[in-house]
């Protein structure tokens, strides 16, 4: 326990001092899920549509689409 607190002490302190809000946590989780779903869809459309068309259809910057596609594992 001592080793953990030495390593993560400031994080633990922040969690203890900061009020945790269930609604905010759920909102953050939903947003994270949306981002992940959008990224999966971009990857699935790769090769079917150009990055420019994907960006246009989803209202995203082309650089964002290219970054997602660049993160794909070969």
Dist. CA 37–CA 19, nearest whole Å: 29
pTM for the model stands at 0.61
Q: With contact defined as beta carbons under 8 Å apart, do 66 and 37 qualify?
A: no
- Dump pLDDT digits (tens) for 32-49: 888 999 999 999 999 999
- Could you tell me the end-to-end alpha-carbon distance of the chain, in angstroms, rounded to an integer? 40
Annotated domain spans of the chain = 21-74
Q: How confident is the model at residue 13 (pLDDT cuts 50, 70, 90)?
A: confident
The number of residues making up the chain comes to: 74
């Amino acid at each position: 326990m001592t080793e953990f607190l030495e390593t993560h002490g400031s994080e633990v302190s922040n969690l203890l001092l900061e009020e945790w809000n269930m609604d905010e946590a759920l909102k953050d989780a939903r947003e994270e899920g949306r981002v992940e779903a959008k990224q999966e869809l971009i990857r699935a459309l790769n090769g079917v549509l150009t990055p420019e068309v994907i960006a246009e259809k989803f209202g995203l910057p082309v650089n964002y689409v290219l970054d997602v596609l660049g993160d794909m594992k070969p």
